[in-house]
Structure 1
Amino acid sequence: MADFIVPSTSRLETDGQHRLQGPIHAQRHVRIICIGAGASGLLMAYKLQRHFSNFSLTVYEKNPEVSGTWWENRYPGRDRCACDVPSHNYTWSFEPKLDWSAVYASSKEIFQYFNDFARKYDLHKYVKTEHQVIGAYWNKEKGGYDVHAKDLQNNQEISDHCDILVNASGILNNWQWPAIPGLDTYKGVLLHTANWDEKIDLSGRHVGLIGNGSSGIQVLPTIQPHVSKVTTFIREPTWVSPIQGLEQHIFSDQERLEFATKPNALLEYRQSVERGLNGQFAIFLKGTNTNNDTETYFRQQMSDKLKNPYLEERLIPNWHVGCRRLTPGVGYLESLGQENVEVVYGEINSITERGCLCDNGKEYPVDVLICATGFNTSFKPRFPVVGPSGKNLQDVWKDEARSYFGVAAADFPNYLIFLGPNCPIGNGPVLSAIECQADYMCKLIDRFQTHNISQFAPKAEAVADFITHKDNFMQKAVWNDPCRSWYKGRPDGPVTALWPGSTLHYIEAMMELRLDDWDVKYNGNRFAWLGNGYSQTELDPTADWAYYIREEDDDEPISRRRKLQLINKSGTVQANVGVSFTGKKVEETAAVESKL
């Protein structure tokens, strides 16, 4: 097939002139830089490779390996319930894994899945490992960004340039020490769960554990049987959930064989689990039967497992279930009652040479101090991102991160973000949300490549309207309760992490580009993309030049509703219902609650 390609040597300012020589929608070369080779970055590389030509891509990854957080997290307990999503559904929708060991697989297996995905599709060729991006600056002459990165192997700085910059550095992999005075004075062994030293042997030692978030909940029951004592420091209550809808289960050889060989067996299982995950959104809405029933169930479960009035009073929250991310606590609550576990509830005033000095006036000496204190989740870029106005996004988002649908920022053109502020990172199945973000970005890149566009960024007024809508929605969501959560910067602050709706709601919202929300600037005449009057079809001698002549109307649906009914296979499934964590089916589906 003969094709007219806008030469890669053409700069943006001459793009309009080149287009007049070719057919409508001529492709120009697009240079893309992606930051991060975790799940999102690998998916972006896959999508570009599958759907585009005449592009170049470099993925800068700070670690020695791909897979992001699943390569990084090697703390004790990661071989237990390291991901709170059933493993067969912690995969790309189009790329199942046949041989997961269990319903909740270890992070080693999850790392292997994403690493195998990269190998299968030869994605490593795009990745430069041990290269950490340290700055991105808009180039006013050429357009796009000048990107500076540090080669961590030889400590040298390199420069690169791109038309479009994609930040896929993630939200839960920029770990941080706790902001407690005196941390640097501690003379014992200091560890962080996200920067674990596997050479450290904890056997027979007195270990201090700071934090009762997801990592701390996984670590405690793993180390408790092997250490002489654990002193765990907890400053606030949290809901520790039973397994979310599915009990842990080790798959037998026969089950794995059926998944691999029996037609549709694995597909039907994955779809059933996904429907269940998508049926739990009412848990996050105040006043629903789902939330009320779940809270009653959690409260009873925690009380039964703690069997300690002192701990029950301090660890069972008085805010709604779901205000903080729900974490399946396999063995955690039971571990708190073991003889070699001491629970210290309250604030740590300072770290001393020997251990922790708490607000009860007591010092607690420990041999090893483990900080399960999480990540920097401010959404601010970890490096300067400077737009055409000279403003740095780090400064703009200093007090509150405000994005467009979690994928872009006003006044920062040609800059796209995976899992940015107010995306569905905790609303339901997260990988399906990442997929729709990648598809949305590809639609923007396609339009950039086939039109004489120089810049695209969401309008400031569109972002402002979205934030207003989001804040109004959050008033009826449990996430707005006054709990301390990484979903928001402070207990009484706005919810900056989550989407105002379900994951399915997000997928529908992202299906089409709303270009009326975007500020688009062109090189020269905005219709230069019309070219020399010839179509792409006429360039292809193997194409049917009368493809639209047929015997019946087999067009795809035009209306959004009919289009969606075709995509979601409306009419093929018996009526869906929501599911509470008690396993009880509830009728609070969107169809029942809708007032329309």
Structure 2
Amino acid sequence: MHLHESEPLMGWPMAASPPQPVKTFDAGIVSGDEYGAFTGFAQNGETQPAFGPANTVPLERRKKVIIVGAGINGIQQASILLRDGYVKLGDIQIFEALSGYGGVWQKNRYPGCACDVPAMIYTTSYHINKEWTHFYAERSQIEAYYTEFAHKYRLEECTRFESLVKCCTWDEEHMVWHVGVLNKSTGKTEHWIADVVCQCVGSLDRPKWGNTPGRENFKGVVWHTAHWRNDYDLSGKTVAIIGCGPSAAQVIPEVIDKPKHLTIYMRTPPVCIARNDFAYSRLFRWACRWVPCFAWLIRTRMNFRMMRFGRKMATDGDPLNDQMTAMAVKFMESEISDPELREKVRPDSKYYCKRPLRLDGFYKALARPNCSVLRENLVRYTEGGVVSSDKKTGMETERLYDVIIFGTGFNVAQFLEHEKVTGLKGLDLQVKWKDHPEALYGLASSQFPNMFYCFGPNSAHVWSSQQDNWERQARFAAKAVKESVLRARKGVKFAMHPKRAVERRYNDEVQRQQAGKFVWARPDCVTYYKNDAGWNTYTMPWTWWQFRQMLTNINWKEWEVIEKPLKRVAID
């Protein structure tokens, strides 16, 4: 299925829903310096270094493909390119800001960090992990799996760790990308060149802090769950956790025994059910390792179950959504006996139930004597703590803390916000995306030739393996690389980017097909899936089968093609 084959599309532009009642979803945007500082890079204020001519770049820094990020998507992208065989290890360069493979699972090291998607699904289709010990996987197991995955394809030979990509600039004369990479050890920005850039940084990568003013005034100790301070002992401290999303909800049961007192500022109660994790039997693990196709069959069966029930659970008004919400409320009430606390953590609306969190110990931790849950409006941060106001009376109260931990999640409203990306005719990607990010199939933007994303805007859903979606995007990018290689053999330099009209129509359809259908599209559903204007930046409406069909082949009617004789664009 391609765009021109679908039903007629609506006009442009169109918001997914009216503005949301709480505006914090795209607050806390980080610059390249701030992003790098999270992982120890020096802040030099340099957004776009002055590049020399292309012919001054050493040969070893000229690559066919540069991949930004060595997490799940970067590893999948590189391995698919190598499996296709049109490029070799020496043609690829991977840059990773962290010190190892795993991406979000390398970065997030907070206590209790784990995945609530079944482990067998949270794996790549052509490299299924056969070593899972439990139904759900902890962070360390996922990191180990993807590290082994990378080593299987010898990606360590083309990966530079502690290397932060700060800018990408398209060179129309030579039809290449100039890429500025900050080397952590030297503190210098290196100049690289590539025919194709694959942005594999993902969406859950850039911490946000909310828009409550005064955060910089707090004189105590502060950090975000995405950059956990394992060197700091919380014992005997007075601690506040801002937010109660998945990360904070996993942290709370793990740290509740340490602080003198823990206060949780909860804007929207999470919807939770029991985790019900269990260890796989020795027979099951033996079968995964040694019985042909056994692991594949298990993964496929789980995926089909997600496909069957996931969309129903997310559909507004579907009985399964009501059942899951009722199950979550029953679970909460079985864990908490205090009537006042029950009402504080009771979900505000059944429509918030997109996919319930699977947690153990969370509600019981909230009921501990040294824990308080506040459903107040944040007003400001002070030198000593937090000022909040009662939602009914408006009365303000300042509470003092030794430590403030932000569990405020990630900014998915402004993809690639920390990287200066300049396309055709000097167009800045963030200027183009001022209102909201958009990309054709979540993998490419018009006016930015030969740049492809994995887990780009509107690439997520909750009804099948995310890895399978990202794999389809990586395979499409590999087709573009193949096309570039084949045309180069004929003496032609090749680049492609989406037609603007097609890109607009696709994104309009992404919004239209979710509005009035899925629970997160409701104006009263408070979710990071949407930006402050109500535009959904995160999810897509398509099934995996539909998305796969869209990306099976390149539909050249949807793409602008740039071709020049190799001799005219050659770098001397």
TM-score range, shorter chain: 0.7 to 0.9
Q: 1:30-53 CA deviation, whole Å, 9 max, x = no partner? A: 711111111111111111122123
Pairing 1:444–2:486 present:
no
Q: 1:260 aligns with which of 289, 303, 306?
A: 289
* 1:567 corresponding residue in structure 2: none
1:222 to 1:30, Cα distance in 2 relative to 1, 3 A: closer
- Root-mean-square deviation (Å): 2.2
Does the C-alpha gap of structure 1 residues 61 and 264 become closer, same or farther in structure 2, counting only changes over 3 Å? closer
Which residue of 1 is the match for residue 223 of structure 2? Answer: 191
SS state at 1:136 partner: strand
Query: Computing the radius of gyration over CA atoms, which structure comes out larger, 1 or 2?
Result: 1
Corresponding residue for residue 103 of structure 1: 135
The within-5 A match list for 1:449-528 is 449-451=485-487, 452=492, 454-475=494-515, 476-481=517-522, 482-490=524-532, 493-523=534-564
1:45 aligned counterpart, secondary structure: helix
Distance 1:269 1:184 in 2: 49
CA distance in 1, matches of 2:112, 2:384: 26
1:37 counterpart = 2:66? no
> Which 10-residue stretch deviates more, 155-164 or 478-487?
478-487
Instruction: Give every structure 1 segment of 4 or more consecutive aligned residues whose post-TM-superposition deviation is greater than 4 Å.
Output: 320-325
**How much has 1:484 moved relative to structure 2?**
2.7
SS class of match (1:248): coil
Gaps of 5+ in 1: 1-10, 12-28, 526-596
> Residue 291 of structure 1 aligns with which residue?
321
Structure 2 match to 1:65 = 100
Please tell me whether the aligned partners of residues 379 and 420 of structure 1 are also in contact (alpha carbons under 8 angstroms). no
Secondary structure of the equivalent of 2:227?
A: coil
Letter in structure 2 aligned against 1:300 = K
Q: In the alignment, what sits opposite 1:421?
A: 457
**Judging changes above 3 Å, is the alpha-carbon distance between structure 1 residues 74 and 237 closer, same or farther for their aligned structure 2 residues?**
same
Residue 384 of structure 2: aligned partner: 354
Equivalent runs, 1:76-225 vs 2, <5 Å: 76-78=111-113, 82-225=114-257
CA contact (8 A) 2:203 2:415 kept: no
CA distance in 2, matches of 1:198, 1:160: 35
| TM-score, scaled relative to structure 1 | 0.78
Q: Per-residue deviation at 1:271?
A: 2.3
Which is bigger in relative contact order (C-alpha 8 A, separation at least 6)? 2
- SS of 2:81's partner is helix
- TM-superposed CA distance for 1:73, in Å, is 0.8
How far is 1:380 from its partner? 3.2
SS at the partner of 1:394? helix
CA contact (8 A) 2:168 2:421 kept: yes
**Residue equivalent to 1:569:** none
The whole-number CA distance in structure 1 between the counterparts of 2:470 and 2:432 is 25
Work out whether 1:241 is the aligned partner of 2:273. Answer: yes
Structure 1 residue 215: Cα displacement: 0.4
1:51 aligns with 2:87: no
Deviation per residue, 1:372-415 (Å, 9 max, x gap):
11122223322111111211001111221111010001121111
**Is the Cα contact below 8 Å between 1:424 and 1:506 reproduced in 2?**
no
Superposition TM-score, scaled by structure 2 size: 0.81
Secondary structure, aligned partner of 2:335: helix
- Contact 1:238/1:324 (<8 A) preserved: no
TM-superposition CA deviations, 1:206-261 (whole Å, max 9, x none): 32111110101101111113333211111223322344xxx300234444233323
**Which runs of structure 2 are paired with 1:527-546 in the superposition (5 Å)?**
none
Deviates more, 1:344-353 or 1:256-265: 256-265
Distance between the aligned counterparts of 1:500 and 1:220, measured in 2? 33
Distance 1:275 1:308 in 2: 40
Against the structure 1 CA distance between its residues 485 and 283, is the aligned structure 2 distance closer, same or farther, given a 3 Å change threshold? same
Mapped partners of 1:126, 1:112: distance in 2: 19
Cα deviation for residue 303 of structure 1 reads 3.4
* Residue type at the aligned position of 1:445: V
Q: 1:391 aligns with which of 408, 427, 431?
A: 427
Shift of 1:54: 4.7
In 1, are the aligned partners of 2:495 and 2:563 still within 8 Å (CA)? yes
Alpha-carbon displacement from aligned partner over 1:188-207 (angstroms, at most 9, x marks no partner)? 22121111121112233332
Equivalent-residue separation in structure 1 for 2:542 and 2:246 (angstroms): 23
1:565-595, CA deviations, whole angstroms, 9 ceiling, x for partnerless residues? xxxxxxxxxxxxxxxxxxxxxxxxxxxxxxx
Unaligned runs of 5+ in 2: 1-53, 55-61, 391-395, 567-572
Rounded Cα–Cα distance in structure 1 between residues aligned with 2:559 and 2:499: 5
Query: Does the CA-based 8 Å contact 1:207-1:231 persist in structure 2?
Result: yes
CA–CA distance in structure 2, aligned partners of residues 241 and 459 of structure 1: 44
Aligned partner (choices 446, 462, 471) of residue 410 of structure 1: 446
Q: CA deviation at 1:57?
A: 1.1
Cross-structure match for 1:377 = 412
Q: 1:334-368, CA deviations, whole angstroms, 9 ceiling, x for partnerless residues?
A: 22122221111122212222221111322222222
Q: Which residue of 2 aligns with 1:564?
A: none
Please point out which of 286, 297, 301 is paired with 1:272.
301
The verdict on how the C-alpha distance between 1:453 and 1:286 changes in structure 2, with shifts beyond 3 A counting, is farther
CA contact (8 A) 2:223 2:406 kept: yes
| Structure 2 counterpart of 1:136, one-letter code | C
Q: Which is further off, 247-256 or 114-123?
A: 247-256
Q: SS where residue 44 of structure 1 aligns?
A: helix
How many residues are aligned here? 491
User: Deviation at 1:448?
Assistant: 2.3
**Partner residue, 2:340:** 310
3-state SS of the aligned residue for 2:458?
coil
Change (3 A) 1:372 1:324: farther
Q: Alpha-carbon deviation of 1:113?
A: 0.6
Query: Any conservation in 1 of the 2:175–2:195 contact (CA below 8 Å)?
Result: yes
Distance 1:105 1:196, change over 3 A: same
> Is the Cα–Cα contact under 8 Å of residues 341 and 367 in structure 2 kept in the other structure?
no
Deviations 1:95-146 (Å, cap 9, x if unpaired)? 1222222111210111111111111221111111111111111112101211
| 3-state secondary structure, aligned to 1:454 | strand
Q: Which amino acid aligns with 2:509?
A: H
Residue among 470, 483, 487 paired with 1:434: 470
Aligned equivalent of 1:366, options 385, 401, 408: 401
Taking the aligned partners of 2:141 and 2:112, their CA distance within structure 1 comes to: 13
2:268 touches 2:348 (CA, 8 Å); kept in 1? no
CA displacement at 1:262 relative to structure 2: 4.0
1:458 is matched by which residue type in structure 2? P
What is the CA-CA distance between 1:464 and the residue it aligns to?
1.3
Q: Per-residue deviation at 1:420?
A: 0.9
**Does the CA contact (< 8 Å) of 2:242 and 2:264 recur in 1?**
yes
Range with greater deviation from structure 2 (183-192 or 414-423): 183-192
Decide which moves more: 350-359 or 215-224: 350-359
* Aligned-pair CA distance for 1:453: 5.2
**Inter-partner Cα distance in structure 2 for 1:206 and 1:189:** 11
Mapped partners of 1:262, 1:364: distance in 2:
59
